[in-house]
């Protein structure tokens, strides 16, 4: 049996869902590959390069800023699962002006996406509001700080359901990143200097993940069962609505990339980082996900 490490770069079903379903359904075993799913959130770049990774956003930033030739072989979705939540008196993105926003660091993929969306709403993240940088986690501390008033808004990920949070806490859902910025953001990526693209283990991993994407699209009841294990504070009906809003329409059924979206996203990320774009090489960056 072949073996490969697969590292996730963030917590929540956005990063973990496909690999979790593939493992639980036995798809990796069917392909004859042992996939060691690793927590790579705090790994240094050199360690991350030695295995496959789910975090396409992080690998794109590394390609743009460090010139590492990452290849993205499968894409789960083009719509990042991150949201802006406002406190009781922050009811719109415009209300963020002059406020305190808990958010990922600017040099991280989620933080970069947040800044792009803020600019789309006419807000300069360096001048128009106070970005309170914090490390990613399960965002429970953000909710606590929203309650006690030490922050006015938070940029959160898929360890929680934004609709359930705003209903229970009296907060406001300001924006979903996926409605305002699209980018191939989770899937399977490797650095070919460490893992050749024709590696049997890598190809088996990609096939199993693509089979999982078909399962998520074609068996919504099963997908909802698995999503419920991540969002276990939701009722079955709430999980179903989450699937219908964020997963079913937007997770690709085949792992393929939309190159037009990829090129626009690469340009936007490069502009935000202040580096040269590699959008012209999009078909090279996504060689087998097309």
Q: What is the tens place of the pLDDT at every residue in 196-231?
A: 999 999 999 999 999 999 999 999 999 999 999 999
**Is 0.85 surpassed by the pTM of this model?**
yes
First and final C-alpha spacing in the chain: 28
155: CB partners within 8 A, 6+ apart: 82, 83, 84, 85, 101, 102, 103, 104, 110, 114
pLDDT at res. 289? 85
Decide: helix, strand or coil at residue 100.
strand
Q: What band does 1 get if pLDDT is binned at 50, 70 and 90?
A: confident
* Residue in the structure block whose two tokens are 């008033």: 149
Residue 288 clears pLDDT 90, i.e. is over it: no
Q: What is the mean pLDDT of residues 114-125?
A: 98
pLDDT at res. 135? 85
73 close to 201: Cβ distance less than 8 angstroms = no
pLDDT at res. 198? 96
Q: Can you say how many angstroms the Cα of residue 272 is from the centroid of all Cα atoms in its chain? A: 18
pLDDT at res. 68? 96
pLDDT at res. 264? 98
pLDDT at res. 126? 97
What is the spatial distance between Cα 20 and Cα 113, in angstroms, rounded to a whole number? 25
249 close to 215: Cβ distance less than 8 angstroms = no
pLDDT digits (tens, 9 = 90+) for 240-272: 999 999 999 999 999 999 999 999 999 999 999
Q: What band does 290 get if pLDDT is binned at 50, 70 and 90?
A: confident
The torsion angles phi and psi of 187, rounded to 5 degrees, stand at 165, -125
116 close to 268: Cβ distance less than 8 angstroms = yes
Residue 273 clears pLDDT 90, i.e. is over it: yes
pLDDT digits (tens, 9 = 90+) for 159-188: 999 999 999 999 999 999 999 999 999 999
Decide: helix, strand or coil at residue 260.
helix
Q: What band does 74 get if pLDDT is binned at 50, 70 and 90?
A: very high
Mean pLDDT score across all residues of the chain: 97
pLDDT at res. 153? 98
* Residue in the structure block whose two tokens are 């899937």: 187
Cross-sheet strand order for the sheet of 52-55:
33-39, 2-8, 52-55, 186-190, 71-77
Q: Where are the alpha helices (DSSP H) in the chain?
A: 13-24, 27-30, 45-48, 56-66, 109-120, 140-148, 162-169, 177-180, 200-218, 220-230, 236-242, 259-273, 282-285
């Amino acid at each position: 049996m072949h073996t490969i490490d697969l590292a996730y770069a963030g917590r929540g079903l956005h990063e973990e869902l496909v690999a979790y379903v593939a493992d639980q359904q036995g798809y990796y075993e069917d392909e004859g590959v042992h996939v060691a799913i690793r927590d790579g959130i705090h790994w240094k770049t050199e360690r991350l390069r030695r295995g496959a990774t789910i975090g396409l956003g992080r690998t794109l930033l590394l390609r743009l800023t460090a010139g590492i030739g990452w290849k993205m072989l499968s894409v789960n979705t083009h719509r990042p699962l991150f949201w802006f939540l406002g406190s009781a008196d922050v009811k719109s993105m415009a209300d963020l002006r002059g406020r305190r926003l808990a958010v990922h660091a600017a040099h991280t993929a989620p933080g970069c996406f947040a800044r792009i969306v803020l600019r789309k709403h006419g807000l300069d993240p360096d001048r128009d509001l106070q970005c309170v940088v914090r490390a990613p986690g399960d965002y429970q501390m953000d909710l606590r700080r929203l309650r006690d008033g030490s922050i006015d808004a938070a940029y959160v990920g898929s360890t929680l359901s934004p609709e359930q949070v705003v209903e229970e806490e009296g907060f406001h859902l300001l924006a979903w990143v996926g409605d305002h910025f699209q980018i191939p953001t989770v899937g399977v990526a490797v650095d070919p200097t460490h893992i050749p693209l024709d590696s049997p283990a890598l190809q088996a991993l990609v096939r199993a993940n693509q089979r999982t994407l078909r399962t998520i699209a074609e068996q919504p009841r099963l997908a909802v069962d698995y999503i419920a294990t991540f969002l276990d504070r939701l009722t079955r009906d709430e999980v179903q609505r989450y699937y219908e809003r964020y997963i079913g329409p937007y997770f690709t059924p085949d792992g393929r990339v939309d190159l037009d979206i990829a090129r626009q996203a690469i340009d936007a990320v490069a502009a935000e980082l202040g580096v040269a774009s590699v959008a012209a090489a999009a078909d090279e960056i996504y060689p087998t996900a097309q």
